[in-house]
Chain A
Amino acid sequence: MGLENNFEGMPVIATRLDEVVNWGRKYALWPMPFGTACCAIEFMGVVSSRFDVSRFGAELVRFSPRQADLLLIMGTVTQKMAPVLKQIYDQMPDPKWVVSMGACASSGGFYDNYSVVQGVDELVPVDVYVAGCPPRPENVIGAIVKIQEKISRESVRDWR
């Protein structure tokens, strides 16, 4: 790293615990893609070569909620799907963050009818909402950066 050359004798640095934990958390987000509809196809664009979300450390997509700390809700959530989403959120270990991608997930979008949940915040707490129908991949990357900013403001004591 080159950093070790700056230490004379004792390779120890003093820092705040929050700083080092948050530094680790924010550059190693493991997303759980809860993709239901069109937005999931745009998420494929986010992870594939042109937009390449791995530049932001969030490319390790885990389909098991128990291995993930970032829930990406992409697409319309219907009343039939609602208990499943709730269960997946509950299965994720703390700390965890939620991104609601697209108009449908954020507000129901233009589906104001009997079967569509009018925003996933009725079911799970949401950290970042992404506008668009579907959002462009840049917006999704922007949401991940927002989550990283949020993480860097948190304290390990928040997640006890």
Chain B
Amino acid sequence: MTEREIMARVEAQFGAKVLRSYEFRGQCAVTVKPEDLRAVLTFLRDDGETALDALMDVGGVDYLGFSPVDGSGDDDREWRYEVAYQLYSMGRNHRFRVKVAVGEEKPVVPSVWDLWAIANWMEREVWDLFGIHFEGHPNLRRILCHDEFQGHALRKDYPINKRQKLSAPAENLLCAKVEWA
């Protein structure tokens, strides 16, 4: 399937739940609300046609102050953050991207760590760098920055050279279950 066909399939299945569809250079993506995220991802994974069985990447984007400079008008996003899930189908060799729109006031997204184990660490990273909370995540701690870090480094309003000293390394890294680590 081409990415456009996958996008059409998602739109047919979810209708108005798709906030925005998007195509650029042959790559397609849909944006959905946090409450629909798990349904969309599960559909794409389990549907026989799409079979997007591998989650390759989870990455946040902060759109604070985003204004395209090519004169195509101001950005009309009503949300500040997006989290992009890059999916790949091992069997059918196609890719697709699902993005979730996250508002500034309540940056909460349901966790998908039980669908793909990689989401565990990837979501921890998005939490660390963007401060987006993942509901249902068993071990939502900082992963790249140190524990005493205040704020979230990849937000656009975090100054790039604001350094924060660490007094001592973390004592305990163990979780109750090894699946959570």
Other than the given A114-B162, A114-B164, 10 more pairs (CB < 8 A) read A79-B163, A79-B166, A80-B146, A80-B166, A83-B168, A112-B160, A113-B161, A114-B153, A115-B163, A118-B163
When distances are taken between beta carbons in the complex, the residues of chain B under 8 Å from A115 are: 144-145, 153, 163
Q: With an 8 A cutoff between CB atoms, is B180 at the interface?
A: no
| Identity of the chain A residue whose Cβ is nearest the Cβ of B164 in the assembled complex | A79
Q: Is A92 an interface residue (CB 8 A)?
A: no
> B48 within 8 Å of A by Cβ?
no
List, in ascending order, chain B residues with CB within 8 A of A114's CB: 153, 158-164
4 smallest CB-CB distances across A and B, nearest first, come from: A80-B146, A113-B160, A114-B153, A79-B166
Interface size, chain B (Cβ < 8 Å): 16
Residue of A nearest to B153 (CB): A114
What CA separation (Å) do A83 and B146 show in the bound complex?
11
Interface string of B149-169 (1 = CB under 8 A from A): 000010000111111111111
Tell me the chain A residues, 2-24 only, with Cβ under 8 Å from chain B. Answer: none
Which residues from chain B sit less than 8 Å from chain A, CB to CB?
144-146, 153, 158-169
A54 nearest CB across to chain B (Å): 34
Of B146, B158, B168, the most chain A CB neighbours within 10 A belong to B146
Interface hub of B144, B159, B166, B168 (most chain A Cβ within 10 A): B166
Q: Smallest CB–CB gap between B110 and chain A, Å?
A: 29
Give the one of A80, A83, A118 with max B CB within 10 A.
A80
Interface of B is mostly: loop
CB distance from B161 to the nearest CB of A (A): 6
A44 contacts chain B at the CB level, 8 A cutoff: no
Known: A79-B146, A114-B153, A115-B153. A84 touches B169 (CB 8 A): yes
On chain A, which size bracket covers the interface? 10 to 19
Give Cα A80 to B149, complex, Å: 10
Of the candidates A82, A113, A114, the one having the most CB atoms from chain B within 10 angstroms of its own CB is A114
Nearest residue (CB) in B for A117 is B163
Report the minimal beta-carbon distance from B162 to chain A, rounded to whole angstroms: 6
A117 to B153, CA, bound (A): 15
Given contacts A113-B161, A114-B160, contact A83 B167 (CB under 8 A): yes
Tell me the complex Cα distance, A114–B148, Å.
13
| Contact partner, A83, options B161, B162, B163, B166, Cβ 8 Å | B166
A42 to chain B, nearest CB (A): 25
Query: Bound complex: CA of A128 vs CA of B168, how far in Å?
Result: 27
Q: Tell me, in angstroms, the Cα distance from A19 to B23 when the chains sit together.
A: 75
What residue in chain B is nearest A115 (Cβ atoms)?
Answer: B145
- Bitwise, A112-130 to B at CB < 8 A (1) or not (0) is 1111011000000000000
- Once A113-B160, A115-B145 are accepted as A-B contacts, the answer to whether A79 and B153 lie under 8 Å apart by CB is no
The contact sample of 20 A-B pairs, CB cut-off 8 A, is A79-B146, A79-B163, A79-B164, A79-B165, A80-B166, A82-B166, A83-B166, A83-B167, A83-B168, A84-B169, A112-B160, A112-B161, A113-B161, A114-B153, A114-B158, A114-B161, A114-B163, A115-B153, A115-B163, A117-B163
Interface centre among B159, B163, B164, B168 (most CB of A within 10 A): B163
